[in-house]
Structure 1
Amino acid sequence: MLTAGIDLAAEDTNTAVAWIRWTGTTAVLEELVIGADDDELLRAASTADKVGIDCPLGWPAPFVEFIVAHHRGEMVTPTDLIGRDWRRSLAWRHTDLVTREVTGRNPLSVAADRIAHTAMRCAGLLARLAAAGQPVDRSGCGTVIEVYPAASLRHWELPNQRYKGRRNNGALNDLMDQLVAATPWLQLGEFESACRHSDHAVDAVVAALTARAAAIGHATRPGPAELASAVTEGWIALPTAPLTDLVTASATD
Protein backbone atom coordinates (compact mmCIF):
# COMPACT_ATOMS: atom_id res chain seq x y z
CA MET A 1 0.00 0.00 0.00
CA LEU A 2 1.12 3.53 -0.80
CA THR A 3 -0.28 6.45 1.16
CA ALA A 4 0.42 10.13 0.63
CA GLY A 5 0.04 13.11 2.91
CA ILE A 6 -0.34 16.70 1.77
CA ASP A 7 0.23 19.68 4.03
CA LEU A 8 -1.55 22.15 1.81
CA ALA A 9 -0.97 25.90 1.79
CA ALA A 10 -2.26 28.61 -0.51
CA GLU A 11 1.19 28.89 -2.11
CA ASP A 12 3.66 26.24 -3.23
CA THR A 13 6.42 27.41 -0.87
CA ASN A 14 4.69 26.19 2.28
CA THR A 15 3.14 23.09 0.72
CA ALA A 16 4.65 19.65 1.35
CA VAL A 17 3.76 16.15 0.19
CA ALA A 18 5.04 12.84 1.57
CA TRP A 19 4.70 9.30 0.18
CA ILE A 20 4.88 6.31 2.57
CA ARG A 21 5.15 2.73 1.32
CA TRP A 22 3.66 0.08 3.65
CA THR A 23 4.80 -3.54 3.64
CA GLY A 24 2.85 -4.83 6.64
CA THR A 25 5.68 -4.75 9.20
CA THR A 26 7.54 -1.65 8.06
CA ALA A 27 6.83 1.70 6.45
CA VAL A 28 9.26 3.64 4.29
CA LEU A 29 9.11 7.35 3.54
CA GLU A 30 9.84 7.00 -0.17
CA GLU A 31 9.61 10.62 -1.22
CA LEU A 32 9.17 14.03 0.33
CA VAL A 33 8.69 17.28 -1.57
CA ILE A 34 8.67 20.66 0.14
CA GLY A 35 7.47 23.50 -2.06
CA ALA A 36 5.11 21.24 -4.02
CA ASP A 37 3.19 22.65 -6.96
CA ASP A 38 -0.21 21.49 -8.19
CA ASP A 39 1.30 18.91 -10.54
CA GLU A 40 3.14 17.24 -7.64
CA LEU A 41 -0.05 17.17 -5.59
CA LEU A 42 -2.06 15.70 -8.45
CA ARG A 43 0.65 13.07 -8.92
CA ALA A 44 0.28 12.12 -5.26
CA ALA A 45 -3.50 11.95 -5.51
CA SER A 46 -3.29 9.86 -8.67
CA THR A 47 -0.68 7.33 -7.57
CA ALA A 48 -1.39 6.69 -3.88
CA ASP A 49 -4.01 4.29 -2.58
CA LYS A 50 -5.10 6.82 0.05
CA VAL A 51 -4.26 10.53 0.29
CA GLY A 52 -4.68 12.68 3.37
CA ILE A 53 -5.02 16.42 2.73
CA ASP A 54 -4.60 18.87 5.60
CA CYS A 55 -7.25 21.31 4.41
CA PRO A 56 -11.03 21.62 4.54
CA LEU A 57 -12.59 19.94 1.51
CA GLY A 58 -15.75 22.06 1.63
CA TRP A 59 -17.60 24.94 3.28
CA PRO A 60 -20.41 24.90 5.86
CA ALA A 61 -23.76 24.51 4.11
CA PRO A 62 -25.41 27.33 6.14
CA PHE A 63 -22.52 29.64 5.19
CA VAL A 64 -22.89 28.83 1.50
CA GLU A 65 -26.64 29.45 1.68
CA PHE A 66 -26.02 32.73 3.50
CA ILE A 67 -23.51 33.95 0.89
CA VAL A 68 -25.77 33.00 -2.02
CA ALA A 69 -28.79 34.71 -0.43
CA HIS A 70 -26.77 37.84 0.34
CA HIS A 71 -25.38 37.94 -3.21
CA ARG A 72 -28.88 37.76 -4.65
CA GLY A 73 -30.29 40.29 -2.21
CA GLU A 74 -32.55 37.64 -0.71
CA MET A 75 -31.07 37.38 2.77
CA VAL A 76 -33.64 36.78 5.49
CA THR A 77 -33.00 38.30 8.90
CA PRO A 78 -32.27 35.46 11.36
CA THR A 79 -34.84 35.09 14.12
CA ASP A 80 -33.65 32.02 16.03
CA LEU A 81 -30.05 33.13 16.59
CA ILE A 82 -28.46 36.55 16.96
CA GLY A 83 -24.97 38.01 17.27
CA ARG A 84 -22.08 35.66 17.99
CA ASP A 85 -24.21 32.50 18.11
CA TRP A 86 -25.61 33.23 14.66
CA ARG A 87 -22.16 33.91 13.18
CA ARG A 88 -20.80 30.71 14.70
CA SER A 89 -23.65 28.72 13.18
CA LEU A 90 -22.37 29.90 9.80
CA ALA A 91 -18.65 29.47 10.49
CA TRP A 92 -18.39 25.81 11.50
CA ARG A 93 -19.01 22.64 9.53
CA HIS A 94 -20.59 19.63 11.21
CA THR A 95 -17.25 17.81 11.10
CA ASP A 96 -15.58 20.75 12.88
CA LEU A 97 -18.07 20.42 15.73
CA VAL A 98 -17.50 16.66 15.94
CA THR A 99 -13.73 17.17 15.94
CA ARG A 100 -13.98 19.75 18.73
CA GLU A 101 -16.09 17.35 20.78
CA VAL A 102 -13.56 14.53 20.31
CA THR A 103 -10.32 16.49 20.66
CA GLY A 104 -11.24 19.59 22.64
CA ARG A 105 -9.72 21.73 19.88
CA ASN A 106 -11.35 23.96 17.30
CA PRO A 107 -10.20 23.40 13.73
CA LEU A 108 -9.72 26.60 11.76
CA SER A 109 -12.97 27.86 10.27
CA VAL A 110 -12.88 27.66 6.47
CA ALA A 111 -15.61 30.32 6.43
CA ALA A 112 -13.96 32.84 8.76
CA ASP A 113 -10.19 32.19 8.84
CA ARG A 114 -7.31 32.62 6.40
CA ILE A 115 -7.39 28.89 5.67
CA ALA A 116 -10.12 29.77 3.17
CA HIS A 117 -7.34 30.79 0.74
CA THR A 118 -5.92 27.27 1.02
CA ALA A 119 -9.37 25.73 0.62
CA MET A 120 -9.82 27.61 -2.65
CA ARG A 121 -6.66 25.97 -3.97
CA CYS A 122 -7.88 22.61 -2.69
CA ALA A 123 -11.21 23.02 -4.47
CA GLY A 124 -9.34 23.63 -7.71
CA LEU A 125 -7.24 20.50 -7.18
CA LEU A 126 -10.31 18.37 -6.48
CA ALA A 127 -11.95 19.73 -9.63
CA ARG A 128 -8.89 18.77 -11.69
CA LEU A 129 -8.93 15.29 -10.21
CA ALA A 130 -12.61 14.88 -11.06
CA ALA A 131 -12.03 16.19 -14.59
CA ALA A 132 -9.29 13.56 -15.02
CA GLY A 133 -11.79 10.83 -14.20
CA GLN A 134 -10.87 10.18 -10.58
CA PRO A 135 -13.93 10.08 -8.30
CA VAL A 136 -13.76 12.64 -5.52
CA ASP A 137 -15.78 11.97 -2.37
CA ARG A 138 -15.44 14.69 0.27
CA SER A 139 -16.84 12.35 2.93
CA GLY A 140 -13.61 10.32 2.75
CA CYS A 141 -15.03 7.20 1.13
CA GLY A 142 -12.79 7.62 -1.91
CA THR A 143 -9.05 8.03 -2.36
CA VAL A 144 -8.88 11.50 -0.83
CA ILE A 145 -9.59 12.17 2.84
CA GLU A 146 -9.42 15.32 4.94
CA VAL A 147 -7.01 15.14 7.87
CA TYR A 148 -6.04 17.31 10.84
CA PRO A 149 -2.40 16.54 11.81
CA ALA A 150 -2.58 18.26 15.20
CA ALA A 151 -5.56 16.10 16.15
CA SER A 152 -3.79 12.96 14.91
CA LEU A 153 -0.72 13.81 16.99
CA ARG A 154 -2.92 14.45 20.00
CA HIS A 155 -4.59 11.06 19.65
CA TRP A 156 -1.18 9.39 19.36
CA GLU A 157 -0.05 11.24 22.52
CA LEU A 158 2.65 13.20 20.72
CA PRO A 159 3.42 16.95 20.98
CA ASN A 160 0.79 18.77 18.94
CA GLN A 161 1.13 22.47 19.72
CA ARG A 162 3.66 25.27 19.18
CA TYR A 163 5.97 23.34 16.87
CA LYS A 164 5.35 25.51 13.81
CA GLY A 165 7.62 28.29 12.58
CA ARG A 166 11.34 28.92 12.85
CA ARG A 167 11.09 30.16 16.43
CA ASN A 168 9.76 26.76 17.49
CA ASN A 169 12.43 24.58 15.91
CA GLY A 170 13.32 23.16 19.33
CA ALA A 171 9.73 21.99 19.83
CA LEU A 172 9.71 20.57 16.31
CA ASN A 173 12.81 18.50 17.07
CA ASP A 174 11.24 17.30 20.33
CA LEU A 175 8.19 16.20 18.33
CA MET A 176 10.46 14.38 15.88
CA ASP A 177 12.37 12.66 18.70
CA GLN A 178 9.11 11.34 20.14
CA LEU A 179 7.68 10.38 16.75
CA VAL A 180 10.83 8.43 15.85
CA ALA A 181 10.76 6.67 19.22
CA ALA A 182 7.08 5.78 18.83
CA THR A 183 7.50 4.43 15.28
CA PRO A 184 10.64 2.26 15.09
CA TRP A 185 9.09 0.64 12.03
CA LEU A 186 8.97 3.95 10.12
CA GLN A 187 12.06 4.49 7.99
CA LEU A 188 12.56 8.20 7.34
CA GLY A 189 16.00 7.75 5.78
CA GLU A 190 17.48 10.81 4.09
CA PHE A 191 14.30 12.80 4.74
CA GLU A 192 14.59 12.89 8.55
CA SER A 193 16.74 16.01 8.42
CA ALA A 194 14.13 17.82 6.30
CA CYS A 195 11.44 16.88 8.82
CA ARG A 196 13.53 18.33 11.63
CA HIS A 197 13.74 21.65 9.81
CA SER A 198 10.24 21.96 8.32
CA ASP A 199 6.92 21.66 10.15
CA HIS A 200 5.30 21.38 6.71
CA ALA A 201 7.26 18.19 6.09
CA VAL A 202 6.24 16.77 9.47
CA ASP A 203 2.57 17.56 8.89
CA ALA A 204 2.76 15.88 5.47
CA VAL A 205 4.20 12.74 7.09
CA VAL A 206 1.51 12.77 9.79
CA ALA A 207 -1.12 13.22 7.07
CA ALA A 208 0.25 10.13 5.29
CA LEU A 209 0.14 8.17 8.57
CA THR A 210 -3.46 9.25 9.08
CA ALA A 211 -4.28 8.21 5.52
CA ARG A 212 -3.01 4.73 6.43
CA ALA A 213 -5.26 4.68 9.50
CA ALA A 214 -8.24 5.56 7.32
CA ALA A 215 -7.31 3.00 4.67
CA ILE A 216 -7.33 0.12 7.17
CA GLY A 217 -10.48 1.20 9.00
CA HIS A 218 -8.84 2.86 12.00
CA ALA A 219 -10.20 6.38 11.52
CA THR A 220 -13.55 8.04 12.08
CA ARG A 221 -16.10 7.98 9.28
CA PRO A 222 -19.42 9.81 9.03
CA GLY A 223 -22.43 7.91 10.25
CA PRO A 224 -25.70 7.65 8.31
CA ALA A 225 -27.02 10.88 9.85
CA GLU A 226 -23.79 12.71 9.05
CA LEU A 227 -23.14 11.49 5.54
CA ALA A 228 -25.25 14.08 3.72
CA SER A 229 -23.34 17.00 5.24
CA ALA A 230 -19.98 15.21 4.89
CA VAL A 231 -20.48 14.75 1.14
CA THR A 232 -20.62 18.52 0.62
CA GLU A 233 -18.78 19.99 3.62
CA GLY A 234 -16.03 17.38 4.00
CA TRP A 235 -15.18 15.08 6.89
CA ILE A 236 -12.07 15.13 9.11
CA ALA A 237 -10.73 11.58 9.52
CA LEU A 238 -9.45 11.18 13.09
CA PRO A 239 -7.34 8.13 14.06
CA THR A 240 -9.05 5.71 16.40
CA ALA A 241 -6.18 3.30 17.12
CA PRO A 242 -2.55 3.47 18.33
CA LEU A 243 0.34 4.08 15.95
CA THR A 244 1.46 0.48 16.33
CA ASP A 245 -1.77 -0.70 14.71
CA LEU A 246 -0.73 0.94 11.44
CA VAL A 247 1.69 -1.93 10.85
CA THR A 248 0.18 -4.73 12.92
CA ALA A 249 -3.41 -4.53 11.74
CA SER A 250 -4.52 -6.91 9.02
CA ALA A 251 -4.60 -5.11 5.69
CA THR A 252 -3.84 -5.67 2.03
CA ASP A 253 -0.58 -3.93 1.10
Structure 2
Amino acid sequence: MSARPYGEGVLTVGVDLAAEAVRTAVAWVEWSAGRAFVKDVAVGADDDLIIEAIKGAGKAGIDCPLGWPELFVSFVSAHRAGDVVVPGGLGRDWRRDLALRVTDRAVHERTGLRPLSVSADRIAHPAMRCAALLARLAVETGTAVARDGGGPVVEVYPAASLKEWGLPYRGYKRTENAEARGRMIDALLAAAPWLSLGDHESACRRSDDAADAVIAALTARAAACGLVTVPGPAQVANAVTEGWIAIPTTPLDALR
Protein backbone atom coordinates (compact mmCIF):
# COMPACT_ATOMS: atom_id res chain seq x y z
CA MET A 1 0.00 0.00 0.00
CA SER A 2 1.04 3.60 -0.48
CA ALA A 3 -0.38 6.91 0.65
CA ARG A 4 -2.54 8.71 -1.89
CA PRO A 5 -2.20 12.41 -2.84
CA TYR A 6 -5.12 14.73 -2.19
CA GLY A 7 -6.20 18.24 -3.04
CA GLU A 8 -5.40 21.56 -1.41
CA GLY A 9 -7.81 21.28 1.53
CA VAL A 10 -6.64 20.73 5.09
CA LEU A 11 -6.19 17.00 5.67
CA THR A 12 -6.56 15.08 8.91
CA VAL A 13 -5.85 11.39 9.32
CA GLY A 14 -7.22 8.86 11.78
CA VAL A 15 -5.51 5.60 12.66
CA ASP A 16 -7.34 2.80 14.46
CA LEU A 17 -4.19 0.90 15.40
CA ALA A 18 -4.09 -2.81 16.14
CA ALA A 19 -1.11 -5.07 16.76
CA GLU A 20 -1.38 -6.45 13.21
CA ALA A 21 -2.21 -4.79 9.91
CA VAL A 22 -5.32 -6.90 9.32
CA ARG A 23 -7.26 -5.07 12.07
CA THR A 24 -5.70 -1.64 11.47
CA ALA A 25 -7.60 1.07 9.62
CA VAL A 26 -6.63 4.50 8.35
CA ALA A 27 -9.03 7.27 7.29
CA TRP A 28 -8.26 10.51 5.44
CA VAL A 29 -10.65 13.44 5.91
CA GLU A 30 -10.35 16.64 3.87
CA TRP A 31 -11.72 19.91 5.26
CA SER A 32 -12.72 22.79 3.01
CA ALA A 33 -15.35 25.55 2.91
CA GLY A 34 -17.16 24.41 6.04
CA ARG A 35 -17.43 20.83 4.87
CA ALA A 36 -15.57 17.58 5.49
CA PHE A 37 -15.18 14.75 3.03
CA VAL A 38 -13.80 11.28 3.73
CA LYS A 39 -11.33 10.92 0.89
CA ASP A 40 -10.29 7.36 1.63
CA VAL A 41 -10.48 4.56 4.17
CA ALA A 42 -8.02 1.68 4.19
CA VAL A 43 -8.56 -1.44 6.29
CA GLY A 44 -5.54 -3.71 6.63
CA ALA A 45 -3.06 -0.85 6.88
CA ASP A 46 0.62 -1.76 7.11
CA ASP A 47 3.39 0.32 8.69
CA ASP A 48 4.42 1.99 5.42
CA LEU A 49 0.90 3.22 4.74
CA ILE A 50 0.50 4.56 8.29
CA ILE A 51 3.78 6.45 8.17
CA GLU A 52 3.05 8.03 4.79
CA ALA A 53 -0.49 8.94 5.87
CA ILE A 54 0.75 10.72 9.01
CA LYS A 55 3.49 12.52 7.09
CA GLY A 56 0.93 13.81 4.60
CA ALA A 57 -1.57 15.07 7.17
CA GLY A 58 -1.93 18.37 8.97
CA LYS A 59 -2.81 16.39 12.11
CA ALA A 60 -3.13 12.66 12.76
CA GLY A 61 -5.10 11.01 15.55
CA ILE A 62 -3.97 7.57 16.70
CA ASP A 63 -6.31 5.36 18.69
CA CYS A 64 -3.60 3.72 20.81
CA PRO A 65 -1.59 4.62 23.91
CA LEU A 66 1.53 6.58 23.02
CA GLY A 67 3.37 5.66 26.21
CA TRP A 68 3.37 3.74 29.50
CA PRO A 69 2.71 4.94 33.08
CA GLU A 70 5.80 6.49 34.64
CA LEU A 71 5.32 4.46 37.83
CA PHE A 72 5.07 1.24 35.80
CA VAL A 73 8.26 2.01 33.88
CA SER A 74 10.08 2.74 37.15
CA PHE A 75 8.70 -0.45 38.71
CA VAL A 76 9.84 -2.65 35.81
CA SER A 77 13.28 -1.02 35.80
CA ALA A 78 13.63 -1.55 39.55
CA HIS A 79 12.48 -5.15 39.22
CA ARG A 80 15.07 -5.81 36.51
CA ALA A 81 17.77 -4.43 38.80
CA GLY A 82 16.46 -6.42 41.78
CA ASP A 83 15.75 -3.21 43.65
CA VAL A 84 11.96 -3.08 44.05
CA VAL A 85 10.82 -1.10 47.07
CA VAL A 86 7.69 -2.77 48.41
CA PRO A 87 5.06 -0.25 49.57
CA GLY A 88 3.25 -0.54 52.85
CA GLY A 89 0.20 -2.13 51.26
CA LEU A 90 0.27 -4.34 48.17
CA GLY A 91 -3.40 -3.75 47.42
CA ARG A 92 -5.57 -2.65 44.57
CA ASP A 93 -4.62 1.03 44.82
CA TRP A 94 -0.92 0.21 44.41
CA ARG A 95 -1.56 -1.93 41.35
CA ARG A 96 -3.87 0.73 39.87
CA ASP A 97 -1.08 3.30 40.17
CA LEU A 98 1.10 1.01 38.05
CA ALA A 99 -1.66 0.28 35.55
CA LEU A 100 -3.06 3.73 34.80
CA ARG A 101 -1.51 6.76 33.18
CA VAL A 102 -2.34 10.29 34.30
CA THR A 103 -4.35 10.75 31.10
CA ASP A 104 -6.35 7.56 31.76
CA ARG A 105 -7.44 9.01 35.09
CA ALA A 106 -8.28 12.34 33.48
CA VAL A 107 -10.44 10.65 30.84
CA HIS A 108 -12.30 8.68 33.51
CA GLU A 109 -12.92 11.79 35.59
CA ARG A 110 -14.29 13.70 32.60
CA THR A 111 -16.28 11.03 30.77
CA GLY A 112 -16.80 8.12 33.15
CA LEU A 113 -15.11 5.86 30.59
CA ARG A 114 -12.06 3.85 31.61
CA PRO A 115 -9.36 3.40 28.93
CA LEU A 116 -7.67 0.02 28.75
CA SER A 117 -4.46 -0.24 30.76
CA VAL A 118 -1.40 -0.22 28.50
CA SER A 119 0.62 -1.96 31.21
CA ALA A 120 -1.95 -4.58 32.24
CA ASP A 121 -4.16 -5.29 29.24
CA ARG A 122 -3.89 -6.53 25.65
CA ILE A 123 -3.76 -2.95 24.37
CA ALA A 124 -0.03 -3.23 25.16
CA HIS A 125 0.48 -5.17 21.92
CA PRO A 126 -0.74 -2.30 19.66
CA ALA A 127 1.21 0.12 21.89
CA MET A 128 4.43 -1.74 21.13
CA ARG A 129 3.75 -1.36 17.42
CA CYS A 130 2.88 2.29 17.98
CA ALA A 131 6.17 2.93 19.79
CA ALA A 132 8.06 1.51 16.82
CA LEU A 133 6.02 3.60 14.39
CA LEU A 134 6.69 6.80 16.34
CA ALA A 135 10.41 6.01 16.41
CA ARG A 136 10.43 5.45 12.64
CA LEU A 137 8.43 8.65 12.10
CA ALA A 138 10.97 10.60 14.15
CA VAL A 139 13.83 9.24 12.03
CA GLU A 140 12.11 9.98 8.73
CA THR A 141 10.99 13.50 9.69
CA GLY A 142 13.99 14.43 11.81
CA THR A 143 11.72 15.45 14.70
CA ALA A 144 10.71 13.49 17.77
CA VAL A 145 6.96 12.94 18.09
CA ALA A 146 5.41 14.93 20.95
CA ARG A 147 3.35 12.41 22.91
CA ASP A 148 1.37 15.17 24.61
CA GLY A 149 -0.38 15.97 21.32
CA GLY A 150 1.47 19.21 20.70
CA GLY A 151 2.91 18.06 17.37
CA PRO A 152 1.51 16.40 14.23
CA VAL A 153 0.28 13.35 16.17
CA VAL A 154 -2.32 13.20 18.93
CA GLU A 155 -3.63 10.25 20.94
CA VAL A 156 -7.39 9.79 20.64
CA TYR A 157 -10.12 7.59 22.14
CA PRO A 158 -13.09 7.26 19.74
CA ALA A 159 -15.59 6.12 22.38
CA ALA A 160 -14.85 9.20 24.48
CA SER A 161 -15.11 11.48 21.44
CA LEU A 162 -18.48 9.99 20.51
CA LYS A 163 -19.77 10.36 24.07
CA GLU A 164 -18.65 13.98 24.33
CA TRP A 165 -20.41 14.70 21.02
CA GLY A 166 -23.62 13.14 22.34
CA LEU A 167 -23.49 10.19 19.93
CA PRO A 168 -23.86 6.42 20.55
CA TYR A 169 -20.54 5.18 21.90
CA ARG A 170 -21.16 1.63 23.11
CA GLY A 171 -22.07 -1.71 21.56
CA TYR A 172 -21.04 -1.04 17.95
CA LYS A 173 -17.86 -3.13 17.94
CA ARG A 174 -17.54 -6.53 16.25
CA THR A 175 -19.16 -7.94 13.13
CA GLU A 176 -22.28 -9.13 14.92
CA ASN A 177 -23.09 -5.58 16.05
CA ALA A 178 -23.48 -4.15 12.55
CA GLU A 179 -26.99 -2.89 13.35
CA ALA A 180 -25.75 -0.86 16.34
CA ARG A 181 -22.83 0.41 14.27
CA GLY A 182 -25.29 1.50 11.60
CA ARG A 183 -27.25 3.49 14.19
CA MET A 184 -24.03 5.17 15.31
CA ILE A 185 -23.19 6.14 11.71
CA ASP A 186 -26.76 7.41 11.21
CA ALA A 187 -26.46 9.55 14.34
CA LEU A 188 -23.06 10.88 13.25
CA LEU A 189 -24.32 11.94 9.82
CA ALA A 190 -27.45 13.52 11.32
CA ALA A 191 -25.35 15.51 13.79
CA ALA A 192 -22.85 16.52 11.09
CA PRO A 193 -24.74 17.07 7.80
CA TRP A 194 -21.57 18.80 6.53
CA LEU A 195 -19.69 15.47 6.72
CA SER A 196 -19.70 13.17 3.69
CA LEU A 197 -18.50 9.60 3.97
CA GLY A 198 -18.70 9.33 0.18
CA ASP A 199 -17.95 5.92 -1.24
CA HIS A 200 -16.65 4.79 2.16
CA GLU A 201 -19.92 4.81 4.07
CA SER A 202 -20.45 1.10 3.48
CA ALA A 203 -16.95 0.34 4.82
CA CYS A 204 -17.72 2.28 8.01
CA ARG A 205 -20.98 0.40 8.45
CA ARG A 206 -19.27 -2.91 7.79
CA SER A 207 -16.11 -2.42 9.87
CA ASP A 208 -15.79 -0.90 13.34
CA ASP A 209 -12.09 -0.41 12.56
CA ALA A 210 -12.98 1.84 9.62
CA ALA A 211 -15.60 3.68 11.68
CA ASP A 212 -13.15 4.32 14.51
CA ALA A 213 -10.52 5.55 12.05
CA VAL A 214 -12.98 8.19 10.80
CA ILE A 215 -13.82 9.23 14.38
CA ALA A 216 -10.07 9.45 15.06
CA ALA A 217 -9.64 11.75 12.05
CA LEU A 218 -12.50 13.96 13.27
CA THR A 219 -10.87 14.14 16.70
CA ALA A 220 -7.58 15.07 15.06
CA ARG A 221 -9.44 18.01 13.50
CA ALA A 222 -10.68 19.04 16.95
CA ALA A 223 -7.11 18.86 18.25
CA ALA A 224 -5.78 20.91 15.34
CA CYS A 225 -8.39 23.59 16.12
CA GLY A 226 -7.57 23.64 19.84
CA LEU A 227 -10.97 22.17 20.74
CA VAL A 228 -9.75 19.33 22.98
CA THR A 229 -8.54 18.79 26.51
CA VAL A 230 -4.90 19.59 27.20
CA PRO A 231 -2.70 18.66 30.17
CA GLY A 232 -2.89 20.95 33.20
CA PRO A 233 0.22 22.21 35.00
CA ALA A 234 0.35 19.13 37.25
CA GLN A 235 -0.13 16.79 34.28
CA VAL A 236 2.31 18.20 31.74
CA ALA A 237 5.39 16.24 32.80
CA ASN A 238 3.56 12.92 32.67
CA ALA A 239 1.87 13.73 29.36
CA VAL A 240 5.26 14.26 27.71
CA THR A 241 6.32 10.65 28.39
CA GLU A 242 3.04 8.76 28.95
CA GLY A 243 0.96 10.37 26.21
CA TRP A 244 -2.21 12.42 26.48
CA ILE A 245 -5.69 11.45 25.22
CA ALA A 246 -7.32 14.45 23.54
CA ILE A 247 -11.04 14.64 24.36
CA PRO A 248 -13.27 17.07 22.40
CA THR A 249 -14.49 20.00 24.46
CA THR A 250 -17.02 21.45 22.03
CA PRO A 251 -20.00 20.16 20.03
CA LEU A 252 -19.25 18.28 16.83
CA ASP A 253 -20.51 21.17 14.68
CA ALA A 254 -17.61 23.34 15.90
CA LEU A 255 -15.22 21.29 13.75
CA ARG A 256 -16.41 23.09 10.62
On whether the aligned pair clears a TM of 0.5, the verdict is yes
1:114 and 2:122 aligned? yes
- Who is 1:250 aligned against? none
1:47 and 2:56 aligned? yes
1:98 and 2:120 aligned? no
- Partners of 1:124 and 1:24 lie apart in 2 by 36
1:106-138 Cα offsets, whole Å, 9 max, x none, are 100001000000000000000001111143000
| Aligned partner letter, 2:72 | F
CA RMSD across the alignment: 0.8
Aligned residues of 1:135 and 1:142 also touching (Cα < 8 A):
no
- Partners of 1:225 and 1:88 lie apart in 2 by 19
Report matched runs for 1:95-244 at 5 Å.
Answer: 95-132=103-140, 133-244=142-253
TM-score with structure 1 length normalisation? 0.96
- Partners of 1:169 and 1:187 lie apart in 2 by 20
- Partners of 1:166 and 1:187 lie apart in 2 by 23
- SS of the counterpart of 1:22? strand
Deviation at 1:163, TM superposition (A): 0.5
- SS of the counterpart of 2:27? strand
1:82-110 Cα offsets, whole Å, 9 max, x none, are 21111111000000000000000110000
- SS of the counterpart of 2:39? strand
- SS of the counterpart of 2:209? helix
- Partners of 1:196 and 1:105 lie apart in 2 by 24
Percent of aligned pairs sharing the same letter: 59
- Partners of 1:100 and 1:82 lie apart in 2 by 23
- Partners of 2:50 and 2:123 lie apart in 1 by 18
Deviation at 1:183, TM superposition (A): 1.2
Equivalent residue in structure 2 for 1:87, among 80, 95, 99: 95
Equivalent residue in structure 1 for 2:23, among 3, 14, 20: 14
TM-score with structure 2 length normalisation? 0.95
| Unaligned stretches of 5+ residues in structure 2 | 1-9
Deviation at 1:180, TM superposition (A): 1.2
- Partners of 2:162 and 2:143 lie apart in 1 by 30
- SS of the counterpart of 1:51? strand
